[in-house]
Structure 1
Amino acid sequence: MQHINILMVDDHPIIIEGYQNTLMATKQDDQTLLIDTANDCDSANAMILRASEGTPYDVCFFDISLPSSADGKISSGEDLAMIARERLPDAKIVILTMFNESYRVHNIIKEINPDGFLIKSDLTSLELAEAFQLILKSPPYYTSTVSNFLKKTVISDIYIDDINRKILHLLSQGIKTRSLKEYIDLSMSAIEKRKKQLKLLFSVDDGKDETLLKEAREKGFL
């Protein structure tokens, strides 16, 4: 019998209930699932620390948007995933999120390199069940939105570093160029220089930010 210890973290109890019911209903005959749940960063962190000193989790599911810890040091599922990576090195880390912007997806893959990356809007009960079994045996498993972003970026011959990716992301959120330095630790002239490089890379002839964002979206960078 395979005993699988699972941690599920989501701030909506009804969503956790749905995940639990799906996994319990579709588990293999030789699997016993023991599922702990948490709805915020503090309780999840306490469970990770306790598991690291006792029976470690085999799989941890983290939603990205969560109530912060009381001391403000842990503010998201991304932070929890990093703690789990350190404290539970053998655990499979699965990200479940509503976020489907290319910038966030790439960031999470770069920072956490999760064993599973599931966009909630892609997910059906059947896919969650299949994803879970695949993550146990041969990770990683990415839902279609994540896979498509990665494919587009891989086939594109444009290399965009993290700062340029962040500039694109902020511009797409409606942040004006003059305000970018509040979010990025660069001088205004350095930011302007990078924007010029981006427009060259994406062959933007009219010099407009809107055209830059349109081209970046089409190539999967947003």
Structure 2
Amino acid sequence: MKDEDKIKVLVVDDHPMVLEGMRSMLAQIAFANLTGVASNAWEAIEKIKEQLPDIVLTDINMPDVSGIELAEKIRKEFPSVKIVAMSTFKERSYISKMVLNGATGYLVKSASKEEIEEALLSVHEGRLYMSFDLEMSASEQREMKNVPVLSTREKEVLNLIADGLTNAQIAGALFISMHTVDSHRKNLLTKFGVKNTALLIRTATQYGLL
């Protein structure tokens, strides 16, 4: 497989041993191309600007700027880049915060090569991936996997719907057509599996997306 056809990955972690370990692991994955490593959020942003990877694998617990804050920054500035969080933490709160800030994958650092492969493929294809090794009940894991993956624009529209804005008001606020707003609204109803706006808001709130 040519490098240009591979999934481009940037790894962000403040521990050199972790970076080397991930470099070695990714070298064994045929469809992955490690475009670079970064030891902090600022370095990561510069690397993203230079190379625009498909996926950023980032640690959560970093000094100065956390992985949670980095995820939010990537979501806003580089909406096409997918985010997979890595951590030794297994608490539900960290997972929820990363998902709320744009991550669509969560791996513990002890993950095997096979699990990293599955995470990269799942996230690249637009699906949410949660590590096998999380200290969550089966029902909690199913619930997390049910959380729809939303585009940046869909999240903006969802928030404005929740604020009570009409399609015309949303179109004006986002500088898009009413037809586009209506399309986003229909997509949101489909993704959440609901039939009306009230259920959409209630379900999104239950998932922690509002």
Task: State TM-score, norm by structure 2.
Answer: 0.58
Unaligned ranges ≥5, structure 2: 144-210
| CA apart distance, 1:97 | 0.8
Distance 2:114 2:46 in 1: 31
Matching residue's letter, 2:53: Y
The equivalences for 1:11-90 within 5 A come to: 11-28=14-31, 33-48=33-48, 50-51=49-50, 55-68=51-64, 75-90=65-80
Q: Does 1:131 align with 2:127?
A: no
Distance 2:39 2:133 in 1: 25
2:41 is aligned with what amino acid? C
Deviation at 1:147, TM superposition (A): 8.3
**Alpha-carbon shift at residue 59 of structure 1 (Å):** 0.7
Residue of structure 1 in register with 2:170 after alignment = none
- 1:117 match: 106
How many angstroms does 1:117 deviate by? 0.8
SS, match of residue 83 in structure 2: strand
Which of 85, 100, 105 pairs up with 2:95?
105
Q: What secondary structure, in the 3-state scheme, does the structure 2 residue paired with 1:83 have?
A: helix
Which of 64, 83, 103 is equivalent to 1:93? 83
Relative contact order (alpha carbons < 8 A, sep ≥ 6): 1 or 2 greater?
Answer: 1
Cα RMSD of the aligned pairs, angstroms, is 2.5
| Distance in 2 (alpha carbons) for counterparts of 1:149 and 1:11 | 30
**Partner secondary structure for residue 93 of structure 1:** strand
Cα distance in 2 for partners of 1:139, 1:103 equals: 20
CA distance in 1, matches of 2:109, 2:96: 17
Contact 1:102 1:149 in 2 (8 A): no
SS at match of 2:24: helix
Query: What is aligned with 1:7?
Result: 10
> Does structure 2 retain, via aligned residues, the 8 Å contact 1:97–1:120?
yes
Question: Shift in Å at residue 120 of structure 1?
Answer: 2.3
Aligned length: 140
In the alignment, the residues of structure 1 paired with residue 6 and residue 113 of structure 2 have an alpha-carbon distance, to the nearest angstrom, of 22
Deviating beyond 6 angstroms after TM superposition, the runs of 4 or more aligned structure 1 residues are: none
1:31-88: per-residue Cα shift (whole Å, max 9, x none)?
A: 6x1421111223223323x24xxx42211111011121xxxxxx20111111111111
Can you give the 5+ residue segments of structure 1 that lack an aligned partner in the other structure?
Answer: 69-74, 156-222
d(CA) in 2 for partners of 1:149, 1:113: 23
Counterpart position of 2:177 = none
CA pair 4-145 structure 1, distance change in 2 beyond 3 A: closer
- Go from structure 1 to structure 2 and tell me whether the alpha carbon gap of 1:7 and 1:148 turns closer, same or farther (over 3 Å shift): same
CA displacement at 1:5 relative to structure 2: 2.7
For the residues of structure 2 that align with 1:85 and 1:4, how far apart are their CA atoms?
Answer: 18
CA distance in 2, matches of 1:150, 1:117: 16
Please state how far the C-alpha of 1:116 moved relative to its aligned partner. 1.1
Instruction: Point out the structure with max Rg over C-alpha.
Output: 1
Q: Percent identity?
A: 26
